[in-house]
Structure 1
Amino acid sequence: MARPFTIETPTVQDAVGIATVHTQGWREAYGHLLPESFYDEATRQRRIAGWTRTLSNPDDPLTTLIARDPGGAVVGVATVGPAEEDEQFPAVCTEQLYMLYILAEHYGTGVGQQLLDVILGDRPAQLWVARDNPRACSFYRRNGFVPDGTVKIDARLDDLAEIRMVRRSGEG
């Protein structure tokens, strides 16, 4: 039985919870791919500051939603917005899923699906995901996303290989 999660728009007071899920989500998803410096306390503190700025900016073009457990704790976060344009990797959709992280203790509860359904529905979109993250790739495939053959090596992420996955109209 799925746990009763609440999906809502965060406020600036949620910055710590979001940064914690963001950082812990990275540790749980990429711990075998990236060094500790990508999810240490200094990184979490930078993310708290970044999320505080983002959530304080009413003109931010991205939409973020959080998932709360019955006790009110933030256990998931998702962000969508206009697709990132890049000379080397031009956008193939107008919308992009920038992140979807949930804490590992909530894997299999349906909260990731609930977040995706609410924030994106079945609209066409693109996303970038670590090539060596089979759990995430499988989740996105179940939701109509398919790799389009584009791979980028992200120098900001210790040369992590990411693949672009795309969901066209009517494939959700």
Structure 2
Amino acid sequence: MSPLAIRDARAEDADDIAGVHVRSWQAAYRGLIDQSVLDGLSVDERAAGWRRILAEPLPTSLGTLVAVRDDRLVGWASLGSGRDPDGLADGEVYGIYADPSAWSTGAGHALLAAAEQRITEAGHDRAYLWVLDGNERADAFYARHGWLEDGAIKIEERPQLTLREHRRVKTLSA
């Protein structure tokens, strides 16, 4: 297998990030989110959103990292300072996804390690992320990497769907 490179996302990555985003949702959330919603996901719409995010990041953003193998973007992680009222002093992994074709190849591990490092370098001793309830693959992945459930839940209302998520936390430095 070719080496994996982690780098900061660039504006021209928006289409590839969106493709990974849509394909990973469609694979990881099958059976957890209504299939018509998953089938209706649009790479073009996500790409437009990613162009905005990359051009005008949130004030809390620490960036978006991408994993590239053989000149192909195979995953991404978006991260920053915490956005939850009880986690403002913490870092947050806003989202992390690998293309289903890159699952179990080390892409997710490399992205998560790089995200943890960047969050630590920004001065956060702790970080959190949210996992869709029922996403056993993600829960097992995060558990292997030391991310623990803390009992917090949130319900996010989006057009045509409701997402129930649970929070995982990790102490990054002592």
TM-score with structure 1 setting the length: 0.85
Contact 1:92 1:126 in 2 (8 A): no
RMSD: 2.3
Structure 1, unaligned stretches of length 5 or more?
A: none
Which residue of 114, 124, 127 maps to 1:118?
114
Shift in Å at residue 73 of structure 1? 1.4
Cα deviation 1:3-42 (Å, max 9, x = unaligned): 4111111211110000000111111111211124544465
1:166 paired residue number: 169
* Amino acid in the other structure paired with 1:64: T
Query: Secondary structure, in 3 states, of the residue corresponding to 1:166?
Result: strand
Bigger proportion of residues as strand: 2
Matches within 5 A, 1:13-162: 13-40=12-39, 43-57=42-56, 61-62=60-61, 63-70=63-70, 72-86=71-85, 90-91=86-87, 93-121=89-117, 123=120, 124-156=126-158, 158-162=161-165
Query: Secondary structure, in 3 states, of the residue corresponding to 1:155?
Result: strand
Structure 2, unaligned stretches of length 5 or more?
A: 121-125
Q: 2 CA distance for matches of 1:16 and 1:38?
A: 20
Shift in Å at residue 92 of structure 1? 6.6
User: Runs of 4+ in structure 1 displaced over 6 angstroms?
Assistant: none
TM-score with structure 2 setting the length: 0.84
Query: Secondary structure, in 3 states, of the residue corresponding to 1:159?
Result: strand
Q: What percent identity do the matched residue pairs reach?
A: 33
Shift in Å at residue 60 of structure 1? 5.1
